[in-house]
Structure 1
Amino acid sequence: MGPQYAPSLRSRLTPLLLFLQIGFIAIYAFYIEIESNVKVDGITFSSFYPEFQDVNVMVIVGFGFLGTFLVRYGFSGSGFNLLVAVIATQWAIILNGIESWYHRGKIPINLRSLVVAEMCTASALISIGAVMGKTNPVHLILIALLEVSGFVLNEWLLQTLLKVQPLNGIMLLHIFGAFFGLMLTWVLHRKGSEQRFEKEKFDSKTGLFSTLGTVFLWMFWPSFNSVLVDNRTPGTKLAAICSTYLALAVSAVTAAAVSVLSSPKGKLHPIHMQSCMLAGGVAVGVSMSAVHQPWEAMTIGFTAAVVSTIGFRYLKIHMLFAFQCHDTCAILSTHGLPGLLGWLAHLLIQIKDDHTTAIRFAVFHIYTLLITITLSLSMGIITGVILKWKFWRPPQDKKCFDDQAFWEFPHQAVRK
């Protein structure tokens, strides 16, 4: 007799999706308008569209394929990523335009607003990595809606209270997403998960698809970090692209070296190469506005790869046993620790360059981090408490990390 999988999603997922999408259509019909100006803030369509496409590829293809490493969760890893991304982006456009709606009665959208919305969505996709395989698609959509709401609120607080530049606030998405996801997986902890789930494993085939996601992320990360950089100052965007590339290159080499060094058999670990080689892009993105020299970016990339790889090797299991945080994709090592390192590098470089305002900037910078972490932890707890409600029908332990709980595969159907 075939295994009994999760009940039909019809009574939970379908109403939620239709309600959200019809609601978004109504809001867009009355309050959203496409920016009519050919040139906005010195940006033309032809110059900005390639960068928009780069970010789009990262969010949809990069994060999607990166989540296919689990041997029986490939369809869900990529398919749910797309579903969550498009819903979260629509929601982020609305939230980011609330101020414009309040003053003008309309929310204008252009390529830049789409990019900002997708970067907010990236924060949610990072958080989902912590609970991937242990939730159903209804959970994931609710996580994305609440996490994007919290991230937009965090941006507003930083810009209103501390006058943080929009770019610096948005690039904290790695820290916000990582700590939100950690708190979420702590609240949703399952008893007995100290032992690996039956289907929580990967093989060479799924690892190859996941590596493809890493390649896309690695290739387009310079665009992700530089897309919102002010291009009116000559050389600023070029410096951001070069710094990101150098940090990524150094982190890839360093991750390989540390992976071999930390392996009992002296071999490369595929997960290290898939995740930790991106640590340089994360760290230099958070510190982007302060990095001006190539050696600074390369040093940040080197340190981030060391911290990320060692954290991946040893920290994930300790987080599970000590704090009951079952972090599926090890987002703490991939995004959290490199993000904190980038924040620290930003502080040190800024103090080094300007001693006269060092103390004032340090206090300001610390407040920025405290607000971000506090809000991310708070929103993670609130979201976790909401998701613990049995109404959402979380998958049973034996049905975690399994596509057949949610997808129809006719060739595997049991005929009676």
Structure 2
Amino acid sequence: MAPQYAPSLRSRLAPLLLFLQTGFIVIYAFCTEIESNVKVDAITFRSFYSEFQDVNVMVILGFGFLCTFLVRYGFSSAGFNLLVAVVATQWAVILNGIESWYYRGKIRINLRSLVVAEMCAASALISIGAVLGKTNPVHLILIALLEVSGFILNEWLLKTLLSAQSLNSIMLLHIFGAFFGLMLTWMLYRKGSEQQFEKEKSDRKTGLFSMLGIVFLWMFWPSFNSILVDSHAPGKKLGAVLSTYLALAVSAVTAAGVSVLSSPKGKLNPIHMQSCIFAGGVAVGVSMSAIHQPWEAMTIGFTAALVSTIGFRYLKIHMLLAFECHDTCAVLSTHGLPGLLGWLAHLFLQIKDCDDHTTAIRFAVFHICTLLITITLSLSMGILTGLLLKWNFWRMPQNKKCFDDQAFWEFPNLAVRK
């Protein structure tokens, strides 16, 4: 007989979703317009649309299937990923267009603004990975709204205070999302998490679906890193694609080698492969504007995979035992550490290319301030979000109902007749 669950979603999730979607429709009706004044060449549109679809596949299929490794949480991982992504994207389009609305009276929407919004949504999906299986969909929607708001605020601060380029600030989504999620899982820590939850496990079938998500992410990551590069400079765009691919290739090989070395039986660990083979893509995305040679991208990919795999092998359990951070998807090792490595590589490569010591020192100061602002804001927003979610009104799932689809989904074959 299937276990009984309280129908708590009816009074919370449905009103929240309907209220948000109604509000979005009203805002889009009065404050937005499709940018049609600019004459866009058909070839350019088709080219950008294909890249937009690549990013769309990464956000929906890649992140969705990536988190299906939990044996009884596959429906929730994929379904809630889609729900959070579309809500966060709609919200990000509005927030990113506030400046346009202030000066022009309308928020202009085009493919580029939609891509930027999806990247902001990706930062929220990274954060949600840290609390995967331990929250309900109401929590996830609130996390997405607050995390996207914090990330866009961070981008605005970097642009206003430090005159940071839009591409560089957006690519900090890995660092922002990882530390936001880490602080969130620390705030929502459950006693007894040192002992693995009853349903916090995987099997061969769910591992295969998760590997499918990794394949999608790995294949389309070059588009993710290069889509916002200036299209009027084809050389830079090509360089971003090549650097990303080389870093991904190197990180895949390195992750496999380190996984074998760290295994007591000398075998490949599928969890290592699923979490660390795209570490090079993360690191190169953060340092992309400073990479000019193939060997630089390959070295970054090698180091990123090394740091990510070792961090996943040893850091996850120490974060749980020492700091009470139960990071379900190990977002710190998967996104946080490679993101920090990419930031450090960007600093070193940029200083190496500077001929003037004064310019180098000035860049270093601004670069360090960029990281400090990003981490400070992500930690602060993570704490505030955690405090909000700890309110009993949202009904945090009980320990025995964590990592279980039946708490939120209706399965006719398991329904109990009354």
Range class of TM-score, shorter chain: over 0.9
* Identity level (%): 85
- Counterpart for residue 362 of structure 2: 360
For residues 69-105 of structure 1, give each alpha carbon's deviation from its aligned partner in whole angstroms, at most 9, with x where no partner exists. Answer: 0000000000000000000000000000000001111
- Counterpart for residue 308 of structure 1: 308
Cα shift at 1:216: 0.3
Distance 1:12 1:232 in 2: 48
TM-score (norm 1): 0.98
Cα shift at 1:30: 0.2
Q: Which moved more, 1:322-331 or 1:6-15?
A: 6-15
- Counterpart for residue 240 of structure 2: 240
Distance 2:184 2:323 in 1: 12
Supply the RMSD in Å over aligned alpha carbons. 1.3
Distance 2:64 2:333 in 1: 19
**Structure 1: which 5+ runs fail to align?**
none
Cα shift at 1:358: 1.3
2:297 corresponds to 1:280: no
User: Residue 6 of structure 1 contacts residue 406 of structure 1 at CA under 8 Å; is this kept in 2?
Assistant: no
Distance 1:60 1:406 in 2: 20
Q: Counterpart of 2:277 in 1: which secondary structure?
A: helix
Q: Counterpart of 1:325 in 2: which secondary structure?
A: coil
For residues 252-273 of structure 1, give each alpha carbon's deviation from its aligned partner in whole angstroms, at most 9, with x where no partner exists. Answer: 0000000000011111110111
For residues 232-258 of structure 1, give each alpha carbon's deviation from its aligned partner in whole angstroms, at most 9, with x where no partner exists. Answer: 124110000000000000000000000
2:264 corresponds to 1:269: no
1:161-240 aligned at under 5 Å gives the runs 161-240=161-240
Q: How many residues align?
A: 416
- Counterpart for residue 13 of structure 1: 13
TM-score (norm 2): 0.98
Q: Counterpart of 1:287 in 2: which secondary structure?
A: helix
- Counterpart for residue 377 of structure 2: 375
Q: Which moved more, 1:346-355 or 1:247-256?
A: 346-355
Distance 1:74 1:234 in 2: 40
- Counterpart for residue 149 of structure 1: 149
Distance 2:43 2:232 in 1: 9
1:343-358 aligned at under 5 Å gives the runs 343-356=343-356, 357-358=359-360
Cα shift at 1:184: 0.3
For residues 47-88 of structure 1, give each alpha carbon's deviation from its aligned partner in whole angstroms, at most 9, with x where no partner exists. Answer: 210000000000000000001000000000000000000000
- Counterpart for residue 396 of structure 2: 394
Distance 2:267 2:191 in 1: 33
- Counterpart for residue 76 of structure 2: 76
Match of 2:324, as an amino acid? Q
Distance 2:205 2:28 in 1: 42
Q: Counterpart of 2:278 in 1: which secondary structure?
A: helix
Distance 2:124 2:305 in 1: 23
Q: 1:410 aligns with which of 391, 409, 412?
A: 412
Match of 2:155, as an amino acid? E
Q: Counterpart of 1:108 in 2: which secondary structure?
A: strand
Cα shift at 1:7: 3.0
Distance 1:139 1:56 in 2: 23
Distance 1:326 1:13 in 2: 25
Distance 2:161 2:41 in 1: 25
Distance 1:12 1:362 in 2: 47
User: Residue 255 of structure 2 contacts residue 272 of structure 2 at CA under 8 Å; is this kept in 1?
Assistant: yes
Cα shift at 1:297: 0.2
Cα shift at 1:413: 1.5
1:13-32 aligned at under 5 Å gives the runs 13-32=13-32
Distance 1:165 1:248 in 2: 24
